[in-house]
Structures are given as structure tokens and as C-alpha cells.
Structure 1
């Protein structure tokens, strides 16, 4: 062993793996002055910064340096940092922090093999991904955007209910609903999402958009989720106006289905970084299949007449998938993902421009609905 090199009980492969690159990215994030080492001052600054308050507990700086700085140099180099994150004796010090990383990056079911590689670092792994995506979940900044949208929908519904109208006939509903006889009032192509027909309609949309939207916000931040949500709402009304030009439209279903498809988009773009990508993808595909199957059954077998805007659902889902690929975070970009990104952007804008132009210039389609 060359002089000056410290022996550790962890062997690092010579060929960098995805997990090696992940730890290097974390290390570089903490190395604020880019000198290749993390000093006590830097570590203290990280903990005191609100940006990193979800990464390291506030009471472990001294113990970190005491236990991890094996050569008493006053800083952590990269091997010390990686060893620190995996050392079993430090689990009690870091608590949930190290447990989270070890669980997602190094699955406990894979012991260290005879080659000295770290569990989960082998070329072939039993896990779908390395868990990097799961580590991006953060409560700061707080995910409140979908909560705010939901509260606005509740307040407006209650306002109409106080005036004795819960079936989209109140003063708010009349102003915001998509009304085919008032297509020139362009805001209705978006504001119909604030109008709901009955309590059940409202509650279903609220529950789904909160359960799907908040997790997306925690990883991708509020503005990306809002873009996806509004893209689904707009696509839903544009598509419905063209396919069913006499139909009124109310509810946030276009945005809700955009959120469902956005989860599929982020699974596709972050497949290798997700620990259980295949399971998540199957769940969302099952939800979509159930909805499509129900629509086909109701129309062609039951011949039922319903007020459910399945076209808005479908258009919202398509928009959510395309916009999700375009704006949601892609943790590790690959060549095929870049091509997919460009394809999604081109297809989305082509569809939206075509829909807008058709709504403006295809006057024969809307003659019967002209006020």
C-alpha cells in the first residue's frame, strides 16, 4: 500500500458506478469551496442552512468529525465521506439520515460479496434502481401549491352552496364554468377546473389531486406541477370543445389526469434512479386502464348517457405525459431521454397550437353554439 494512504474496511471499485457518481454528487454539493474536502466549518454551515436542514440533523457535527475523520486532518475527503455514510457504527449517530440513504442506495438484503464491492453497487442488482429519486423528496420548500388550489376550489364551492346551488348553477359556477355558448370568454377554458357538480365530484378530485400532486411537488417543486396541472386543464377543455362542441365542462379532472400521467412521465425519465419503478408504473397504468375500460363499457355495452368528460380525461392525460416529460426533473439525462424530451415538446406544442387555431377559425364547428 502506498505510503500515506489510509487503509479502510470498505473497498471502492476501480470502475465508477452510478452509486459512486451519486455519492460524488452529494459530496460536491457539501464541498462549497470545491477544494475536494469538507471542513468542519462547511459542515456546520450546511446544517445551519435551511436548504439542507432535511439532510443532516443539527446535533451531529462534532460526532461526525470525531468518528469519520480517521486521520484527524480536520476535514473529510471523499473516501472518508463515503465510508461515513455506510459505516454501521455511525447509524446511531445519524439516525434516520443514514438509515434512509443506506436503505435506498444499499439494500439490506444484499450482503457484501466476496469481491469487496458494496451491496447494491454490482452491475446486476435485484433492485429496480439505486434509490436516487426517492432521496429527492423534501419538505422544504413546503409542498402547498396543490393544497392552495384545493382550498380555492372548496371556498368557491362553499360560496355557491351558501347561495343554494351545488350543481354548478351558482354565481361562481356561471362565471367560471366552460360554457360552449360563451366560448369567446377565453378564461373559461381554464377556470372550469374551479367548478364542481356536487360534493362527491369535488371530494374525488380533491383527494386524487392532493395524493398525486403533493408528492410531485416534493421532488419537482410547485411551478413544474402547476404547469402540468394547467396544461391538463387547458387540453381537456380544448379537446372537449372540438369533439363535443355543445357540452358544458366543469371540474378539475383534466388536471387530475395530467398529474396521473405526470407520474408515468417521471417514472420513464427516472427509471434507473427509482427503487421500485416497475411497480409504480404498473399502478398508474392500471388506473388509466380502469378509466378507459369503464368509458368503453358504458358507451358501447351499457349505452349509458353520462355527464363524465372522458375526452377531457384523455386529453388531460396526454398533456400531463408530454408536459411531464418536458418540465419535470430528470435526475440523470441520457441520450435517448434527450430525444424523448424534444419529441414530447414538439408534439405538445403542435397539438396545443392546432387545438387553439381550430377553436378560433373552425367556425362551422361551433355555429350551433354561438350565443
Structure 2
């Protein structure tokens, strides 16, 4: 077999392999092609510049975009991968190693225009919120049994295992894990049930769009912000409950509305009742109706009944603030604008500055009760 025939066979095999592995991925996107800028950014994020210099990557993508419309179609991709003047063997290998993931990370145009198109349980269904909810229920049940055996009744509004190493206690602030693990302990059935219902309702909605790992980060950082805020204002008061995480989810919903306002209002004025109910203004109103009266009443009772009211108001506020601040950079922004990127960096800096201040305050402030080193 001549050299030319061998090359033809290899090229046909390459085209067949590319069609089998990449055409289904391209088909999930828009027929006009993938934005060159998005493709370049995603490929760089996947580490292709470790194998191909950025200047060469730009040259190859420009070469692929033959009609210079800043979009790369499947046919243009095939031409690039099979052209004798295109990629070297090493470059072709580098492209193949990252391209599939890079393309998957690019949000199709239809989904960038329509926020509802991003609701999907595929390829991974909501995981974090159901699992953390189940864990919190199990921990509550275990301690309820322990308290019952010790002769302490767990009622609708009472029954806290203050001996637990999970509870945040001002006297044991050096045990840093308590700033996070207090979320597993609840004071009575009502406290538990209300938190679990809220986080299932609002957390799963977020997770379906933004995926489990983003919600995990937001929830846990919200819990930490809640205990940090509580430690600033309630120097002698212990803290239990997942409200910091729950309120972080509520704050994250507002952050999502801010950065996806236009996409959430896609075709909402065409009379479709579902789109109206899920539009940005309605979402925002629902969250504010839930948060503002509850927080306002809690603050009022905290001021008017300082000796009787024991809800950690600042923990709620801290969690909500964390969700609002971190939701901008962490949650999926399906059509990111330059000002939204800048806003994300600013809000992340504000959150980090707050946590840093809280850590320093906890270390230097002398008004906390004596440390229990036992």
C-alpha cells in the first residue's frame, strides 16, 4: 500500500473518530457554532496552555474560523483537526484532551437567552442539599435519643445537647470547627423542620441550575459567616441551627436574580403563567417577603425582649449576606457581562474582608467569657 493510500486511510479513521466523539457535543450547541472567545477561555481553563502557547492557540482558533465571524462550527473544527497545514500531531492530541470538556462548559445560546432552559437534573441530579438535610435530621435524631435516655425531653421548641462538640460555644472558640458544625444541632422539632423545609425548597431549586458543588460552597460559607457574625454581637451566647446556611440560599437567590435578570424575564410578557411566576421580579418579591418581615420581627423582638428572645438574628443576617455576596461570583451566570465579573470580584473581597475582621476580633477582643480549656 502506497504512502498516500495509508494517509487517506488514517485520515478517514480520524474523521470517523472525531465525528463519533465530537459531533454529538457540537449538536447540543447552536448550529451557527461556538463563540471563539468562549472556546478559548474554556480551553485555557482546562490547561491547554501548558502544552500549546497562548499565541499559538490564538493562531489556530483564527485559522479554524475561516469566515471570520467569531464562531466555530463543527465543519470548521473538522477542517482544523484534519488539515495538513493545521495542527501538529502534538497539538491535535492537546486539543482532543481538553476540547470535549471545554465545549461542555460553554452555555448554548438558547440557554443564555432563557434561564428556564438551564433547569436540568442531567447529568447529575441535586445531591448536596438532600444529603446535608438527611445528615442534619440523623444528627438531631441521635441526640434526641441520647437526651431522652438522660431524662431530658426534646419538644417542639426545646432540647439542645449543649455538651455536644458540634455546638458553637463562646467559651470554646479555639475549637474552630464549631463555627461550622453548629449547623447540625437544632433546638426542638420546629427549629429543625422549618430549616429543613426551607433549604429543600430553595436549595434544590438552586442546585438544579447551578449544580451541587456551587451550592455546597455557598451553603458552608454561609454557615461560617453566620457564626462569625453571631460571635461579633452575642459574646456570651451559644449558637445552634442551620439558619446561616438556609439564609445563604435565600441570599444566593437574590444574587442569581441580579446577574440573570434579563434571562429570567425571557418571554415572561407573552402570557405564560409559568414564566410569569418564575420571572425575576416575582422571584425577588417572594424572597423579600420571606426575609424582610421575618428578620425585621426578629430584630424588633431582640431589642424589646433581650432577656427572652434567643434567636441568633445576626447569624441569619450573616448567612444572608454571604449568599448575596458570594452568589455573584460563584453561581452560574449564563450570560456574563463585564460589569458582573467586576462586581463578583468586589463582593468576594467584601466577604473575605468580613471574615478576616471576624477572625481578628475573636482573637483580640477581651469581652468574651473565660475560655474553657477543659
Which residue of structure 2 aligns with residue 233 of structure 1? 223
Which residue of structure 1 aligns with residue 82 of structure 2? none
For 2:295 and 2:178, locate their aligned partners in 1 and report how far apart those are by CA, in whole Å.
26
Which residue of structure 2 aligns with residue 143 of structure 1? 126
Q: Does 1:286 align with 2:289?
A: yes
For 2:358 and 2:303, locate their aligned partners in 1 and report how far apart those are by CA, in whole Å.
27
Which of 347, 350, 355 is the matching residue for 1:352? 355
Distance 1:155 1:299, change over 3 A: closer
Deviation at 1:137, TM superposition (A): 0.8
Which of 354, 366, 369 is the matching residue for 2:368? 366
| CA deviation vs aligned residue, 1:43-73 (integer Å, no higher than 9, x gap) | xxxxxxxxxxxxxxxxxxxxxxxxxxxxxxx
Which of 210, 214, 217 is the matching residue for 2:204? 214
Unaligned runs of 5+ in 1: 1-22, 39-81, 83-100, 106-129
Which of 244, 249, 255 is the matching residue for 2:234? 244
| CA deviation vs aligned residue, 1:248-298 (integer Å, no higher than 9, x gap) | 100000000000000000010111111311111111122221122212332
Q: Does 1:26 align with 2:30?
A: yes
Q: Does 1:154 align with 2:137?
A: yes
Deviation at 1:354, TM superposition (A): 1.1
For 1:266 and 1:142, locate their aligned partners in 2 and report how far apart those are by CA, in whole Å.
20
Which residue of structure 1 aligns with residue 300 of structure 2? 297
Deviation at 1:181, TM superposition (A): 1.4
Q: Does 1:328 align with 2:331?
A: yes
Taking structure 2 as the reference length, the TM-score comes to 0.64
Say whether the 8 Å CA contact 1:245–1:369 is kept in structure 2. Answer: no
By percentage of residues, which structure has more helix? 2
For 2:227 and 2:249, locate their aligned partners in 1 and report how far apart those are by CA, in whole Å.
16
CA RMSD of the aligned region, Å?
3.0
For 2:168 and 2:127, locate their aligned partners in 1 and report how far apart those are by CA, in whole Å.
27
The count of residues paired between Structure 1 and Structure 2 equals 260
Deviation at 1:304, TM superposition (A): 7.0
For 2:183 and 2:259, locate their aligned partners in 1 and report how far apart those are by CA, in whole Å.
28
Provide the secondary structure at the position in 2 that maps to 1:365: coil
Distance 1:227 1:242, change over 3 A: same
Say whether the 8 Å CA contact 1:137–1:219 is kept in structure 2. Answer: yes
Deviation at 1:369, TM superposition (A): 5.2
For 1:201 and 1:147, locate their aligned partners in 2 and report how far apart those are by CA, in whole Å.
18
Unaligned runs of 5+ in 2: 1-26, 35-70, 79-108, 266-278
Which residue of structure 2 aligns with residue 179 of structure 1? 169
Distance 1:313 1:232, change over 3 A: same
Taking structure 1 as the reference length, the TM-score comes to 0.64
Which of 259, 266, 271 is the matching residue for 2:256? 266
Q: Does 1:309 align with 2:312?
A: yes
Q: For residues 91-170 of structure 1, what are the structure 2 equivalents within 5 Å? A: 132-140=114-122, 141-163=124-146, 164=148, 166=154, 167-170=158-161
